[in-house]
């Protein structure tokens, strides 16, 4: 009989075999191949790295014409365990020719850098990333794509917030304009009149709950934080209002940075990607660097791939299938897929009102892939899915 062991249960199985506990860490570093892709490496560098990996017992995948240098550059996929990569770093450290210093630095940063475990808001409230958090949506708008999320009156806003809190919401996200495909932007004063009273009232009645403001206006963000908001959730990644980056930096507020092609009005007009994952990650790297240069604490940035924002159906599916690849940036990840059109299409073109079960499936996928925050309309149902899967994950983590 042969059984392939679930990686999280390796230590338990080593104990059953009778291995010495001192050896557990050594075996765990050898147990799992981690494919790492490095982009745009010169052919001589790619040849050297491939030979070094082979000498260590690993391997590397390169362009077929790298061996004779008929191509100038190649992406490279390393195939090795943590042990292989540690040994590769030792070999590369003393080599200062071709692209080897860059490969050494990128590999070292990737292996050593860890995602933050928690982020504090300007008010001292803490976002802890020890499990998948549920962010509940309250749209103070008359035209959001899902009618069930529209709450315009203070009494219904407070009732919705109360229901969310009773059902275990971790963060409440307040937005004052619809960003559905084709939507027109709402003016600054109108957004302020919608968002600020909602935040004021929720904070007054529920002093401990984390509040996020969904805006790309710097003035809305500043007022919202002053009235008690903890997080700025910006679909534009600092591109629609040049003053927003200064506000986020000055207030030292956690910031959700989202990927989107175009604007909500035109984002679904024939979006196209050659390599959707690579392009989104490159976008994040550029925007994080921009934020850092402008004084934003990079340890307070949360990334959102922007499901449905300038994406085709197949792009949304590929993002969901490859969620773990976004962890390469070592940032907390938010996914906002609740009741979106790709779910409706997967279910046979169902309307938003009939996409709950599909949304719950996406939530389960997110939890199993260790997504840090899910942004949803239906807190109770999604929270229950999260709870069950987190219990299962606790069994796994208790063995590590």
CB atoms under 10 Å from CB of 76, counted, come to: 24
Residue ranges of domains in the chain, CATH in brackets = 1-31 (no CATH), 33-112 (3.30.1370), 118-398 (3.20.20.20)
> How many angstroms separate the first and last alpha carbons of the chain?
25
pLDDT at 314 over 90: yes
In the numeric block, the tokens 């009273």 are attached to: 197
pLDDT number for residue 398: 56
Tell me the average pLDDT across 143-153: 72
Which token pair is 321? Answer: 């299938």
- Per the CB < 8 A criterion, the answer to whether 85 and 34 are in contact is yes
Q: Return the axis-axis angle of helices 244-251 and 218-226, rounded to nearest 10°.
A: 20
pLDDT at 318 over 60: yes
Q: How confident is the model at residue 161 (pLDDT cuts 50, 70, 90)?
A: very high
pLDDT at 186 over 80: yes
Q: What is the tens place of the pLDDT at every residue in 9-49? A: 788 888 888 888 888 888 888 888 999 999 999 999 999 99
Tell me the average pLDDT across 306-335: 95
pLDDT number for residue 2: 73
Active site residues: 340, 375
Q: How confident is the model at residue 353 (pLDDT cuts 50, 70, 90)?
A: very high
pLDDT at 178 over 90: no
pLDDT number for residue 286: 97
pLDDT at 147 over 80: no
Percent of the chain scoring above 70 in pLDDT? 97
DSSP-derived secondary structure letter, 184: P
Which token pair is 129? Answer: 């990333």
- Per the CB < 8 A criterion, the answer to whether 113 and 330 are in contact is yes
Tell me the average pLDDT across 319-333: 95
pLDDT number for residue 397: 61
pLDDT at 133 over 60: yes
DSSP-derived secondary structure letter, 170: S
Considering the entire predicted model, what is its pTM?
Answer: 0.92
Tell me the average pLDDT across 192-214: 97
Regarding predicted confidence, which is higher, 3 or 204? Answer: 204
Regarding predicted confidence, which is higher, 8 or 295? Answer: 295
Q: Return the axis-axis angle of helices 356-368 and 379-397, rounded to nearest 10°.
A: 20
- Per the CB < 8 A criterion, the answer to whether 150 and 190 are in contact is no
Q: What is the tens place of the pLDDT at every residue in 210-269? A: 999 999 999 999 999 999 999 999 999 999 999 999 999 999 999 999 999 988 887 788
Could you write out the DSSP letters of every residue in 191-238? Answer: HHHHHHHHHHHHHHH-TTSEEEEE---HHHHHHHHHTT--EEEETTTT
CA angle, 130 then 237 then 111, to 5°: 45
Q: How confident is the model at residue 400 (pLDDT cuts 50, 70, 90)?
A: low
DSSP-derived secondary structure letter, 174: E
The contacts found for 184-192 with CB under 8 angstroms, 24 or more apart, are: 184/265, 185/263, 185/264, 185/265, 186/141, 188/217, 188/219, 188/220, 191/215, 191/217, 191/220, 192/219, 192/220, 192/223
Tell me the average pLDDT across 371-394: 96
pLDDT number for residue 263: 85
Q: How confident is the model at residue 365 (pLDDT cuts 50, 70, 90)?
A: very high
Tell me the average pLDDT across 182-200: 91
CA distance 35 to 303: 22
365-383 per-residue burial string, b: 16 or more CB within 10 A, e: under 16: bbbebebbbbbbbbbebbb
Secondary structure of residue 102 in the 3-state scheme: helix
Tell me the average pLDDT across 351-374: 97
As a residue count, the chain comes to 400
CA distance 179 to 145: 9
In the numeric block, the tokens 């042969």 are attached to: 2
Could you give the C-alpha distances from 307 to 115, 175, 250, 272, 316, in angstroms and in order? Answer: 22, 17, 29, 14, 6
pLDDT number for residue 376: 97
Mean pLDDT across the chain: 92
Among 53-62, 84-93, 267-276, 366-375, the minimum mean pLDDT is found in 267-276
CB under 8 Å to 60, separation ≥6 — which residues? 46, 49, 50, 53, 54, 76, 77, 78, 79
Q: How confident is the model at residue 3 (pLDDT cuts 50, 70, 90)?
A: low
HSE of 115 in the Cβ direction (CA atoms, 13 Å)? 19
DSSP-derived secondary structure letter, 182: T
pLDDT number for residue 266: 77
pLDDT at 275 over 70: yes
HSE of 249 in the Cβ direction (CA atoms, 13 Å)? 14
């Amino acid at each position: 009989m042969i059984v392939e062991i679930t990686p999280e249960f390796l230590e338990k199985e080593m104990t059953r075999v009778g291995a010495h506990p001192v050896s557990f860490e050594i075996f765990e570093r050898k147990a799992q191949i981690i494919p790492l892709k490095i982009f745009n490496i010169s052919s001589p560098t790619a040849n050297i790295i491939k030979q070094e990996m082979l000498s260590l017992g690993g391997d590397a995948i390169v362009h077929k014409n790298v061996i004779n240098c008929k191509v100038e550059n190649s992406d490279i996929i390393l195939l090795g365990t943590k042990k292989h990569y540690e040994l590769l770093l030792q070999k590369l450290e003393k080599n200062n020719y071709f692209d080897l210093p860059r490969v050494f630095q990128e590999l070292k940063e990737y292996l050593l850098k860890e995602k933050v475990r928690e982020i504090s808001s300007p008010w001292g409230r803490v976002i802890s990333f020890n499990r998948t958090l549920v962010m509940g949506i309250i749209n103070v708008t008359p035209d959001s794509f899902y009618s069930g999320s529209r709450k315009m009156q203070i009494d219904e806003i407070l009732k919705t917030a109360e229901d969310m809190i009773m059902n275990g919401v971790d963060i409440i996200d307040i937005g004052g304009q619809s960003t559905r495909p084709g939507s027109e932007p709402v003016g600054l004063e109108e957004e302020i009149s919608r968002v600020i009273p909602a935040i004021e009232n929720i904070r007054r009645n529920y002093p401990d709950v984390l509040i996020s403001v969904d805006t790309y206006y710097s003035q809305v963000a500043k007022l919202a934080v002053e009235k008690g908001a903890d997080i700025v959730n910006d679909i534009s990644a600092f591109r629609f209002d040049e003053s927003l980056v200064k506000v986020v930096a000055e207030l030292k507020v956690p910031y959700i940075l989202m990927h989107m092609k175009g604007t909500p009005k035109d984002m679904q007009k024939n979006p196209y990607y050659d390599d959707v994952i690579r392009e989104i990650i490159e976008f994040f790297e550029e925007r994080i660097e921009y934020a850092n240069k402008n004084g934003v604490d990079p340890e307070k940035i949360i990334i959102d791939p922007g499901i449905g924002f300038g994406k085709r159906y197949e792009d949304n599916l590929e993002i969901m299938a490859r969620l773990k690849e976004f962890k390469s940036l070592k940032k907390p990840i938010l996914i906002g897929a609740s009741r979106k059109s790709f779910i409706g299409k997967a279910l046979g073109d169902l309307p938003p009102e009939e996409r709950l079960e599909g949304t719950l499936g996406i939530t389960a996928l997110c939890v199993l892939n260790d997504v840090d925050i899910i942004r949803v309309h239906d807190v109770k149902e999604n929270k229950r899915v999260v709870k069950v899967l987190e219990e299962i994950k606790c069994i796994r983590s208790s063995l590590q």
